[in-house]
Amino acid sequence: MFTLEKQHLKPVIKEITTTSINSSITRTVRKDNTIVYQSNRYSVPLGTYQKDKDVYIEITAENRLVIREQTDGPVIANHIISFERGKLIQDRQHTRDRTKGIAAYISTVSSYFTDEERAKAFLEEIHHRYPRYVRDQLGIVLKMSKASDQRTRDEALCECIKRGIYSASEYSDVLAFIQRQQQQKEEFKRAEEEIKALHGIEPSLLDTQPENRELAQYLDVLKGATKYDTVT
């Protein structure tokens, strides 16, 4: 039976191919410790960011994004590739820097400020005061800084140093206070513009400063107007 079947069997030629890892594909690490791939952001461990730092990426057959700091180095991140757009794909382990230490964490947080050296000194003082809770402290500063613009967080940093404030919660309070002030100024400006538009007043007239007069002069004018109204 096997002899008869063997006559109808065809040899199977399986082409064996090997795919070399294309280690030349690089991505720049952003300040928030992510890289961009196909319109999505993928996390790398906290503390990976350095100015102009690139990492090497590999796309596997299993549709995974593998990230290394060197072409033949250890894997620092491994994500399933998302087919959506504008998403943040984050490994929760990357939010806590367990491999690079507090110094790298401080370096990452300070990168959100214009004066990085001044920010480092501020954060190191927090570390000195709260050594047991420094990760939580740095995490709060990082979270609040990410949620604010550059000018606001720079101003909050200056105020904290000026007033000798060295804690994450108080930094958050100062930041929130500055944001409220900015919001009030913006609301006042919008209201002023609405008044101008409502009354059809030439903006330059509102910007013109009135002539300063003594109170007595205003009273004389008012008396004259009253007298004229009485005669008529």
141-164 residue pLDDT tens: 999 999 999 999 999 999 999 999
Helix axes 116-129, 134-146, angle to 10 degrees: 140
Would you say 81 and 65 are in contact if contact means Cβ atoms under 8 Å apart?
yes
Would you say 54 and 69 are in contact if contact means Cβ atoms under 8 Å apart?
no
Joined together, the tokens standing for residue 61 give: 């057959």
pLDDT in the model for residue 104? 87
pTM of the predicted model as reported, rounded to 2 decimal places: 0.46
Neighbouring residues of 36: CB distance < 8 A, sequence distance ≥ 6 = 27, 30, 42
pLDDT in the model for residue 8? 54
Using the 8-state DSSP alphabet, how is residue 88 labeled?
Answer: E
Per residue in 73-130, pLDDT tens?
Answer: 889 999 999 999 999 999 988 876 554 578 889 999 999 999 999 999 999 999 999 8
Q: How many CA atoms lie within 13 A of 13 on its CB side?
A: 0
* Pick from 7-21, 114-128, 172-186: least confident: 7-21
